């Protein structure tokens, strides 16, 4: 059948002498692998629309076994990413994660919108890369139903000022008082085969992270103070990667560039 979809090119793979396979993220059909015949030719009508990060309308012949591109018109290309290598590297990471979490044939709007807004802000240099990265990871965890329980200490139930330890494995936080008490009472016991990875968060960082996960869409990319941003940046990255159980080469490269 012939279908028309709005889509975002999250990745491309060269095929043959002049063709491409596009990883297209769509609102209606989720992730699609779309064959773009001749799209690498300079004279191809698909050339711009088949570039990585392009967003537009795509007319596709869709069957159970394949998708073939028939027509395409570009709405946005995010060429501004080429001005800054850090922004480009971060956009690569965002695109890879987006393609990883969106499934074929499953309609998706929220995550696609989050990715597009993140890459737009990077392209236009409207927000610092670390702010965009942290907001993307934090909000994505919420959309996926993976967000940690940050309301209060999981041991005493209090939400007082101080330091909290986010357990990356089980998604709970423990206040410093309870952590010290537990260490004194049982300094050694750990479940065999279970890794204990923690991220340190102040109450302000913990609460800001929770607000980002729950706030209106217009407030997702709010700028926190640098001290809070550094804490959330480390926590959101560790937690997301652990929950998705995957190492991202694009993230490794971004961190090399950013550092």
What would the CATH number be for the domain defined by 88-94+103-259?
Answer: 1.20.1440.120
Say if residues 228 and 202 touch (Cβ distance below 8 Å).
yes
Asked whether 92 and 254 are in contact (CB, 8 A), the reply is yes
Q: What is the pLDDT of residues 16-45, one digit of tens each?
A: 889 999 999 999 999 999 999 999 998 899
Name the average pLDDT for the chain: 91
Both tokens assigned to 118: 């993140």
Beta pairing partners, 26: 7, 30
Total residue length of the chain: 259
Among 26, 112, 86, CA closest to 62: 26
| CA–CA separation, 87 and 90 (whole Å) | 5
CA angle 133–138–141, rounded 5-degree value? 125
Taken in order 87, 109, 233, 11, the sign of the CA dihedral is negative
8 Å CB contact between 160 and 151: no
User: Residue 185's pLDDT is what?
Assistant: 57
**What is the distance in angstroms between the CA of the first residue and the CA of the last residue of the chain?**
48
The CATH 1.20.1440.120 portion of the chain extends over 88-94+103-259
Burial of 158 (0-12, 13-18, 19+ CB in 10 A): exposed
What is the full per-residue pLDDT of the chain (259 aa) written as tens digits?
A: 999 999 999 999 999 889 999 999 999 999 999 999 999 998 899 989 999 999 999 999 998 889 999 999 999 989 999 999 999 999 999 999 999 999 998 888 999 999 999 999 999 999 999 999 999 999 999 999 999 999 999 999 999 999 999 999 889 999 999 988 877 655 444 444 444 578 999 999 999 999 999 999 999 999 999 999 999 999 999 999 999 999 999 999 999 988 7
The residues facing 22 across adjacent strands are: 12, 34
pLDDT tens column, 162-205:
999 999 988 999 999 998 887 765 544 444 444 457 899 999 99
Q: CATH 2.40.50.140 in the chain, residues?
A: 2-76
Domain spanning 2-76, CATH class:
mainly beta
């Amino acid at each position: 059948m012939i279908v028309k979809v709005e889509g975002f090119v999250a990745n491309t793979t060269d095929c043959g002498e002049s063709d491409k396979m596009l990883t297209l993220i769509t609102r209606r059909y989720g992730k699609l692998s779309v064959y773009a015949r001749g799209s690498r030719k300079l004279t191809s009508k698909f050339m711009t629309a088949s570039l990585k990060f392009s967003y537009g309308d795509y007319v596709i012949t869709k069957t159970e076994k394949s998708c073939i591109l028939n027509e395409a018109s570009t709405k946005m290309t995010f060429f501004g990413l080429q001005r800054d290598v850090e922004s480009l590297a971060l956009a690569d990471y965002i695109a890879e994660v987006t393609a990883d979490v969106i499934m074929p044939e499953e309609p998706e709007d929220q995550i696609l919108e989050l990715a597009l807004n993140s890459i737009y802000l990077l392209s236009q240099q409207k927000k610092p890369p670390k702010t965009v990265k942290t907001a993307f990871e934090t909000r994505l965890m919420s959309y996926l139903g993976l967000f940690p329980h940050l309301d209060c200490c999981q041991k005493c139930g209090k939400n007082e000022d101080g330091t909290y330890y986010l357990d990356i494995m089980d998604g709970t936080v423990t206040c410093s008082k309870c952590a010290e008490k537990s260490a004194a009472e049982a300094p050694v016991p750990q479940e065999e085969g279970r890794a204990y990875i923690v991220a340190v968060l102040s109450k302000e960082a913990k609460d800001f992270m929770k607000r980002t996960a729950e706030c209106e869409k217009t407030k997702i990319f709010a700028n926190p103070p640098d001290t809070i941003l550094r804490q959330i940046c480390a926590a959101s990255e560790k937690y997301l990667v652990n929950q998705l159980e995957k190492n991202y080469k694009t993230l490794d490269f971004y961190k090399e560039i950013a550092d």
